[in-house]
Structure 1
């Protein structure tokens, strides 16, 4: 399964998949990266011999993105960059474009990075979380695939870290759901905070794994 990340930042989710592959927790996944600038994601890809291409992209100038995607021919495109995808790309790859947003959409749509978490805490929301959704022509408006939530009875710093981890897990769960390949050992994992339920045991990714990931 070819997974192409569109990146602008540090690449936490991208690094999660690379480390999970190295630890043999997941398999049958090949990673690619397209960046719209020099960033932590592109540095990591280059340092780990992962295909990486930096391109110029605007909604009115999509030629380089279309060429790269045609070359890679990905099964899934994770749109973790600070751009709104143009209508031509969305139409061509709809159903393959997915995004991770750190709120329980439709709450706090249109915000970037951890800003939705800050907003949730600022407004005294009792729950915060993360959403994996399909990308359409709007902003954070595509069909929801999965969500994970947590109570806001912990510090915001702890919440940011936990929501990042849950985001990685529901992104992986989405790939397991969408793929016909054997990606991870499947196991029942019925927990209220994940919808739909995870198809694998989240304890495969223990505290030591997350600590090492944070150090990458």
Structure 2
């Protein structure tokens, strides 16, 4: 059974594009891309993939409540079962999360609970750990604190740079995210 999803993105959208290309294997159909900025390159990727996109420009709203109301209005045009965050750099309110309880999924570039927040890759690299990774988790009202769905480790080699580690993390994300979504949709998590 295929589930209808909305993908939220803020930037380049490489994880969004990867999910679109692997959507059949993951058991999803991306109904819409929601971007929070008109400059998000993810919108161009959506055009190329013939996936509808809606820009809900955060800067056009007075506050978070109004911004999330704009997102809700955009989502109302589609039959959405899950929201998948792919580089969405906004913290959603507890109210919004509760409205989609256990139906918002996020990808984080570290092995949670370590290195939460915006700079997971850089924080792990600078701390000097030898193993970091990628986590797929449900979104709750905390920051990167929701129930873990899947994780994959990434070894930090002595000759890795921040840039080479970022590439390794992204490659791992591209494999793990579709697999983890499939687990959720098959009701195995």
Q: Cα 1:27–1:105, aligned 2, differ >3 Å: closer, same or farther?
A: closer
Deviation at 1:29, TM superposition (A): 2.9
Unmatched segments (≥5 aa) in structure 2:
none
Equivalent residue in structure 1 for 2:92, among 81, 85, 96: 85
Question: What is the number of equivalent residue pairs in this alignment?
Answer: 176
The question of 1:105 aligning with 2:112 is answered yes
- Equivalent in 21, 36, 60 of residue 65 of structure 2: 60
Contact 1:59 1:84 in 2 (8 A): no
Provide TM-score, normalisation by structure 2: 0.84
Residue 130 of structure 1 and its aligned partner are, at CA, apart by 1.0
**In the alignment, is residue 167 of structure 1 matched against residue 157 of structure 2?**
no
Displacement of 1:27 in angstroms is: 6.8
Where relative contact order (Cα < 8 A, 6+ residues apart) is larger, the structure is 2
1:170 shift after superposition:
1.9
TM-score, normalisation: structure 1 = 0.74
SS in 1 for 2:21: helix
> Does the C-alpha gap of structure 1 residues 169 and 91 become closer, same or farther in structure 2, counting only changes over 3 Å?
same
1:76 has 2:86 as partner: no
Secondary structure in 2 matching 1:72 = coil
CA RMSD of aligned residues (A): 2.1
Unpaired segments of 5 or more residues in structure 1? 182-195, 197-216
Deviation at 1:180, TM superposition (A): 4.1
